[in-house]
Structure 1
Amino acid sequence: MQILKRLYNAPVTLSLIAVNTVIFCIMAISGHELWWGNADDLLLRGANYWPLTVVQHQYWRLFTSMFLHAGLWHLFTNMLGLLIAGIFLEPILKGPKFCLVYLVTGLVADYASIWFHPDAVGVGASGAIFGIYGAFLALLTTPLFKRSVKMPFLIFIALFVCLNIIVACFTVGIDNIAHLTGFGCGILTGYLLYFTLSKADASRLPN
């Protein structure tokens, strides 16, 4: 029952998951590789790529690439990470602010990604998702929450970051620049949003 209430209070999170999933399903039905993806196919559908995004001024790719995923596992891990963070953070920020964090950190992360990797084709929501975790971490370090409430979440975020670092050391193709930039931008955004929140907002984080 508690999880249903959490889901009910996270409509933006669920909407983002739905949009990402529907787009992937449409791509799969139209012939997109289910497990590993295809760079040429992803580029046609809006992937991020320096020669197109910046050189040819197709800046909309910074946005569209956030909703494309190379394969089913890529989609699943990203959406799971978004769901876990979103059902706790969105009720605190409310939909518009949560959406703002997602979009701003995702766009900044995507630009950083092609800046450092101009020859790589970039897709995925992970930059924005790391931004969500960064914003959550920033808010948890403020006086907004009681220590007894925030410690379990701080530990969880630390484990999330450490696990991703470990996976990145043994996996080819993970965009660490996007992750780190999104996370850092999320921290900054979280501290800025702190001044717009109240104890009533903080009370929506479970004890």
Structure 2
Amino acid sequence: MRFPLRLLAGVLPILAAGAGFAEESALERGLAIASGGMMRAGAQACFTCHGLDGTGDAAAGVPRLNGLGAYYLAKQMRDFAAGTRPHAVMSPIAKALAPQDILAVAAYYAALDTTTDGRAGAPPSVYSRGDPARGIEACRTCHGRGGFSTIPAIPTLAGQHAGYVAGQLMLWRRGARGNDPLDAMSRYAKALTPPEIAEVARWLASRGAGERS
């Protein structure tokens, strides 16, 4: 398995400080967890849904994880475990992982090379400019130009499956998801129309996860 050096340089020093990492590579530990070799009894292995390559399953609504940052992935796992982002499948899995294992598996998926390619047309207006009249900040302000976030707590969305993005926005819109400390996503999603949500999701999905232009 090949990992981008620029990502490894960022995650290894953090993980190396944790208990239990002195004798093994943190990323090897993450791979072992993802493949199910270190999961506690009753916990489903990560690869069964997300794949070892992190591409997920668009038809099943399972998000791709490669291309997402380790900080963001670890936070979502902690939120699943704590119940601040309840999920019938993910919450039991996250609860079965020790804190250092969450860090390791997050680092593993974050370090995977992205594999999609493609180039979308111009972004939807609400993504690039927002709509001040409705109190909607431009999506690119946080999620980045082309869907590539540079903020650790905010996910890159380029190349993410359209159904997953739209589904999460609808959860924010309905108030069924609320693990944003600033409550920004809930406010913006409630102001978006379902057609706008679908348009943004399709555009982001058509952005190749490896394209940054």
Structure number with the higher helix fraction is 1
Structure 1-normalised TM-score?
A: 0.27
Structure 2-normalised TM-score?
A: 0.27
